[in-house]
Structure 1
Amino acid sequence: MRARDRTAVSALRATLAALDNAEAVPMDEAKQAGAVELSPVGVGATEAARRGLSEAEVRDIVRAEIAERLDAAARLTAPAHAERAARLRTEAAVLLRLLDSAA
């Protein structure tokens, strides 16, 4: 990361966001506030507990991110999109190396 590898940073940020989204509590499980006067008060009073992901779920999400990038790269067949397709393939390779090193 010190070399400012923008492709790797982009892939890691997007994957971290996907993991963060997967930890979010679905709206139907989150507590809904009623009247304003009954609302909780104080710092963090409205925070919902995040759900924890198992290692298998994390690996599945990273694999899905890899597949998404490879699928998008495969769809970009026009010569004008060659650079974007190469970047997507590089991002997938970064994630694959990360997944392999964690196993």
Structure 2
Amino acid sequence: MTSDPDRLRARLRADLTTAMKARDKEAVAALRSVLASFDNAEAVPVPAPATGPPASSEYVAGTSVGLGSAEVARRELTLDDLRTVLRAQIDEGLAEADTYAAHGRPDDADRLRRQVDVLRTYLG
């Protein structure tokens, strides 16, 4: 059974495909951006370097050795986490649209507001 976060991502990806086929530039940009933000939010923080000499291979200095030594499991985001990232994207888009409008670029401001409108449909 798929979880709610997986369903939201699947819906976003399906809608991205639809938007690409329809050549809807604003929807494509908004959906790609929010999917990338989800991926970035899943990244784990880089640990502080260990004291002492780093493990290395004979071919590349400073690399980890051993099968899977450089792999780290990504964070698993809940539906609430995804919605928080989505809200942050919406807030950023609105703030940037206001900045564009204040600097005499109403077309760019309108474009960003249309992208925000696309993202708002996924909060419900």
Deviation of residue 13 (structure 1)? 0.9
Post-superposition Cα deviations, 1:38-88, rounded to whole Å, max 9, x if no partner, equal 83344x542211010111010010001001000111122233x11110011
Aligned-pair identity in percent equals: 40
CA RMSD, Structure 1 to Structure 2 (Å): 2.3
Higher relative contact order (CA 8 A, sep 6+): 1
Q: Where does residue 20 of structure 1 map in the other structure? A: 39
Q: Which runs of 5+ in 1 are unaligned?
A: none
Secondary structure (helix, strand or coil) at the match of 1:26 reads coil
Contact 1:25 1:50 in 2 (8 A): yes
**Structure 2: which amino acid aligns with 1:16?**
L
Deviation of residue 34 (structure 1)? 2.5
Contact 1:30 1:48 in 2 (8 A): no
Is the counterpart of residue 3 in structure 1 residue 3 in structure 2?
no
Is the counterpart of residue 59 in structure 1 residue 83 in structure 2?
yes
State the distance in 2 between where 1:29 and 1:54 align. 26
**Structure 1: which amino acid aligns with 2:42?**
E
TM-score w.r.t. the length of structure 2 is 0.68
Q: Where does residue 95 of structure 2 map in the other structure? A: 71
Q: Which runs of 5+ in 2 are unaligned?
A: 1-18, 58-62
Q: Give the alignment partner of residue 35 of structure 1, picking from 33, 37, 55.
A: 55
Secondary structure (helix, strand or coil) at the match of 2:22 reads coil
